[in-house]
Amino acid sequence: MKLGFDSKKYLEEQSKYILERVNNYDKLYLEFGGKLIFDMHAKRVLPGFDENAKIELLRSFKDKSEIIICVYAGDIERNKIRGDFGITYDVDILRLIDDLRKYELSVNSVVITRYNGQPATTVFINKLERRGIKVYKHVAIEGYPADVDIIVSEEGYGKNEYITTTKPIVVVTAPGPGSGKLATCLSQLYHENKRGVSVGYAKFETFPVWNVPLNHPLNIAYEAATVDLNDVNMIDPFHLETYGKVSVNYNRDVEAFPVLKKIIEKITKEKSEYQSPTDMGVNRAGFGIIDDEIVKEASCQEIIRRYFQTACDYKKGYADKEMLTHSKLIMEQLNLKETDRKAVTPAREKENKLRKTNDKDELCWAVGLELADGTIITGKNSTLMDATSAALINSIKYLANISDQMDLLSPVILEPILNLKTKILKNTIAGLNCEEILIALTICAATNPVAQIALNKLPDLKNCQLHSTRMLSKNNEATLGKLGIDITCDPEYSTHNLYYNN
């Protein structure tokens, strides 16, 4: 992979900048936007970015920090999904806590925002508390965010439970946007000031990158990633007016800034040090870019990937027409086409060829997988395995210089697995998926050295690009994600079934 970003340089710059901000207070509440762990968007648009860079950053001052995780009760009630993992927000919080503990980072608590006794949320609270996780419940505040007098009073933030913290840096994070991170930070500022603590607020949001041009593909890719929020990048007018310098922010932060500044000044009873939304940020990602052309190309590819994702979400009913239209307009803004993703055309051509030779009433399905050397390997569905599994097997055979005519998978192994799946477990979809085919390959490798050679090539698929002419099952998405393969799909189902698709 060609590198456009220096992660080490970024971490050094970022750590130094955050610690400088902390020195101004006894305690700093640091709102972390985006993903704290496995920031795959940043990794894709900034080749060379470590998806766990934020964790490494926190580890550098782990003795000085603790973490609060926020989640909006409404997101739990409607089973909101974290797209890159295909899991609901409540499950993602459990995963996040486990991962943070693995990195020896201190998790203070989970805050349920806008809680009003919602039943599924109450069950989740019970689950956390009975596993020893401290949970705080914050209510919706009437008139938020406009009625500052109510918000900054005992009838506003005063109603929220005070979260006891002991470290100078309190990181406030969440599974996704709209979880109440800012409100939690401001609520804590209110309670800390009542206790006489010198406390500040700052925001760590990777995108948009404030010191990269407004219409740079890197910042446009952020719009593509947030079509569900309808975020729009814009020049920070407050920063331009105060300092005469151009910086990039997005509409929600710019619109909220006057009220946010007023709230902070009412809490602290002092004039705010912040003159613009950009002032509040501590992000230094722009200083880690070492090759702008590589970043531009990667960002364009991410915009195409996001378009396919939105189109599939629309097909599934998760996205509305406005979101899909917005994605299309972003593509047109940069004159991008679906086929600019290299694996798309070979996959579609493979499916079209299958259709011409298929006289049965079944859906043809093909996959194209672009390898690191630019070679594109295809796969098709069959009664033995689905198209994604076929593409994986064909790819590792190519990487291991194994003849396409040689069978890696022994019928002695495959037949019992297929029998278990269809006759005993009564699965209506017979073809083996990615996970099943890799397990079968692992078993074959115990007695077949050639299969072992092929299996050893699986790590070489990391960062490869896959396109499927049909939407993938959750199982296949998860397996490909673990292999580090980036996927896109045409917005078509792999079967005619309404229920038996995943």
Nearest one of 367, 353, 330, 365 to 464, comparing CA atoms: 367
Domain residue extents for the chain: 1-206, 292-333, 341-489
Pair 299, 212: CB distance under 8 Å? no
Region of poorest pLDDT, from 85-89, 363-367, 383-387: 85-89
Q: Does domain 1-206 have CATH number 3.10.630.10?
A: yes
Region of poorest pLDDT, from 173-177, 215-219, 429-433, 487-491: 429-433
Other beta carbons less than 10 A from residue 104's beta carbon = 8
Q: How far is CA 90 from CA 86, 96, 115, 121, in A?
A: 12, 10, 14, 9
Write out pLDDT tens, residues 102-146: 999 999 999 999 999 999 999 999 999 999 999 999 999 888 877
Residue 494 pLDDT class (50, 70, 90 cuts): confident
Please identify which residue in the block is written with the tokens 């994702």. Answer: 309
The predicted pLDDT at position 197 comes to 92
- Start-end of H helices in 23-118: 40-45, 53-60, 73-77, 89-102
Averaged pLDDT of the chain? 92
d(CA 342, CA 330): 19
Q: How far is CA 111 from CA 16, 46, 71, 142, in A?
A: 29, 31, 6, 19
The predicted pLDDT at position 499 comes to 65
* CA trace torsion 90, 92, 95, 97 (10° rounding): -70
Res. 497: pLDDT tops 60: yes
Write out pLDDT tens, residues 456-477: 999 999 999 999 999 999 889 9
- Judge if the upstream peptide bond of residue 208 is cis by omega within 30 degrees of 0: yes
Region of poorest pLDDT, from 119-133, 291-305, 390-404, 487-501: 487-501
CATH of 341-489, one of 3.40.140.40, 3.30.465.10, 3.20.20.70, 3.40.50.11270: 3.40.140.40
Please identify which residue in the block is written with the tokens 């101004």. Answer: 24
Please identify which residue in the block is written with the tokens 């009564």. Answer: 426
Those residues whose C-beta lies under 8 Å from the C-beta of residue 157, and which sit 6 or more positions away, are 141, 151, 186, 187, 190, 191
Residue % of the chain over a pLDDT of 70:
98
* CA angle at 395 for the pair 393 and 401, rounded to the nearest 5°: 100
The predicted pLDDT at position 84 comes to 65
The residues pairing with 27 across neighbouring beta strands, listed in sequence order, are 199
1-206 and 341-489 agree in CATH topology:
no
Q: How far is CA 430 from CA 32, 176, 427, 467, in A?
A: 44, 36, 7, 22
Nearest one of 293, 202, 226 to 83, comparing CA atoms: 226
Structure tokens at 200: 């500040």
Q: Which helix (H) or strand (E) holds 175?
A: none
- Comparing 495 with 444, the larger pLDDT belongs to 444
Q: What mean pLDDT do residues 193-216 have? A: 93
Nearest one of 388, 384, 404 to 454, comparing CA atoms: 404
The predicted pLDDT at position 48 comes to 95
Nearest one of 220, 182, 235 to 204, comparing CA atoms: 182
